[in-house]
């Protein structure tokens, strides 16, 4: 395995920094079911880190641990070099970790614009009293946020659906709006749970481009779960492979692809 202690330079010349997030000996148990068994890995600043594995391997569970939706039974989460105390999901979000969901969790009754605006929740710091007393100032702040949101809408090429309630949008576009909402938080770490599942080839290409651009232009660190091996190989700098809750591989796409245990895990298993 490549030694990555000091950070490294990727093949396409991007500088990857130190460790941003480190998972230490994570075990997650639901009653008798062990979704994750003693897994450790790290995510480096500026990196695109993929988590792959067959269905039920525990990938989403791992993302849920990172984003605070699940509390690990054993193990520690380190962020910015500090051990993270147990946190509620909304507190994790306030720390600069944004995410999307495998099954899309949007505000279905709200417009695209409003959905992405809620993504800026953590960036808004006026409280109720100041908003009531300095209405003008609050509205100025609101329009600044609105500007940022319009930039994201342009970036994701979804101007046409700005005012549409997202519940009415086709699946592929909903995924895109959900990415937009996560981006609106200007996250330090972006977690994407199967951002391309159920998309056609063209939509997948668009989404891949967006993910690369986000990483490139804003330097956002990204951890993503993906089943499409082609996509994983193209996008990611390093890959964690899970199977039955255990980590069976960790390294560059090439290293992982040639890892016998990984090959065995994938043999005869259907993936979309």
Ligand X SMILES: Nc1ncnc2c1ncn2[C@@H]1O[C@H](COP(=O)(O)OP(=O)(O)OP(=O)(O)O)[C@@H](O)[C@H]1O
State the Cα–Cα distance between residues 26 and 24, nearest whole angstrom: 6
Residues that bind another protein (rule: CB under 8 A) add up to a total of 33
Looking at the Cβ atoms of 61 and 122, the one nearer to ligand X is 61
* CA distances to 23, 80, 81, 123, 257 from 48, in Å: 16, 17, 19, 24, 17
Q: Where are the alpha helices (DSSP H) in the chain?
A: 59-66, 89-94, 112-118, 128-133, 135-155, 171-184, 201-218, 229-235, 253-257, 260-266
Distance CA 181, CA 114 (A): 9
Tell me 257's DSSP state: H
Residues recorded for the chain: 272
Site membership for another protein, residue 175 (CB under 8 A): no
Q: 59 vs 238, which CB is nearer to ligand X? A: 59
Write out the E strands in 32-128: 33-44, 48-52, 74-79, 82-83, 97-99
Of all residues in the shown chain, the one whose CB is closest to Mg ion is: 60
Positions in 22-61 near Mg ion (CB under 5 A): 60
* Contact flag: residue 102 with Mg ion (CB under 5 A): yes
Nearest distance from C-beta of residue 60 to Mg ion, angstroms: 3
Name residues contacting ligand X, limited to 88-117 (CB under 6 A).
102
Shortest Cβ distance from residue 22 to Mg ion (Å)?
Answer: 22
Site mask for another protein (CB under 8 A), range 96-125, x = bound: --xx-x---xxxxxx---x--xxx-xx-x-
Residues 27-86 close enough to bind ligand X by CB under 6 A? 30, 33, 35, 53, 55-61
Q: Which of Mg ion, another protein, ligand X, none has residue 185 at its interface (CB below 5 to 8 Å by kind)? A: another protein
Could you say which residues in the range 38-77 bind another protein, by CB under 8 A?
A: 67, 69
Cα separation, 4 vs 85, in Å, equals 26
Shortest reach from residue 193's CB to Mg ion, in Å: 6
- 131 part of the interface to another protein, by CB under 8 A: yes
Asked if residue 32 lies in contact with residue 57, where contact means CB atoms within 8 angstroms, the answer is no
Report whether 190 contacts 99 (CB < 8 A). Answer: yes
Contacts of 46 (CB under 8 A, 6+ apart): 14, 15, 16, 17, 215, 219, 221
Cα Rg, the chain, nearest whole Å: 19
**Which structure tokens are listed for 69?**
């939706």
What does 35 bind: ligand X, Mg ion, another protein, none (CB cut-off 5 to 8 Å by kind)? Answer: ligand X
User: Which does residue 33 touch among Mg ion, another protein, ligand X, none (CB within 5 to 8 A, set by kind)?
Assistant: ligand X
- Please state the closest distance from residue 118 (CB atom) to another protein, in A: 5
Residue with tokens 């996008």: 235
Q: Which residues bind Mg ion (CB under 5 A)?
A: 60, 102
Q: Which residues bind ligand X (CB under 6 A)?
A: 30, 33, 35, 53, 55-61, 102
Q: Which residues bind another protein (CB under 8 A)?
A: 67, 69, 88-91, 93-94, 98-99, 101, 105-110, 114, 117-119, 121-122, 124, 126, 128, 131, 138-139, 142, 181-182, 185
């Amino acid at each position: 395995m490549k030694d990555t202690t000091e950070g490294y330079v990727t093949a396409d010349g991007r500088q990857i920094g130190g460790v941003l997030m480190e998972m230490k000996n994570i075990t997650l148990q639901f009653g008798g079911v062990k979704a994750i068994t003693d897994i450790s890995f790290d995510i480096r600043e500026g990196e695109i880190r993929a988590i792959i594995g067959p269905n039920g391997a525990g990938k989403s569970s791992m993302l849920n641990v990172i984003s605070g939706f699940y509390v690990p039974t054993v193990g520690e989460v380190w962020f910015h070099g500090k051990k993270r105390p147990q946190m509620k999901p909304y507190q994790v979000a306030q720390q600069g970790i944004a995410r999307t969901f495998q099954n899309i969790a949007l505000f279905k009754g709200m417009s695209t614009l409003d959905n992405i605006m809620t993504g800026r929740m953590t960036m808004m710091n006026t409280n109720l009293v100041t908003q009531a007393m300095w209405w003008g100032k609050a509205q100025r702040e609101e329009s600044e946020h609105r500007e940022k949101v319009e930039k994201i809408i342009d970036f994701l090429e979804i101007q046409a659906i700005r005012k549409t309630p997202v519940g009415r949008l086709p699946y592929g576009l909903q995924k895109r709006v959900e990415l937009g909402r996560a981006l609106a938080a200007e996250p330090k770490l972006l977690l994407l749970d199967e951002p391309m599942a159920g998309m056609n080839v063209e939509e997948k290409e668009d989404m891949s481009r967006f993910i690369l651009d986000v990483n490139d232009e804003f330097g956002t660190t990204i951890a993503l779960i993906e089943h499409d091996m082609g996509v994983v190989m193209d996008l990611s700098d390093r890959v964690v492979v899970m199977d039955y809750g255990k980590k069976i591989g960790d390294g560059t796409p090439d290293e992982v692809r040639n890892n016998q245990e990984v090959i065995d895990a994938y043999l005869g298993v259907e993936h979309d």
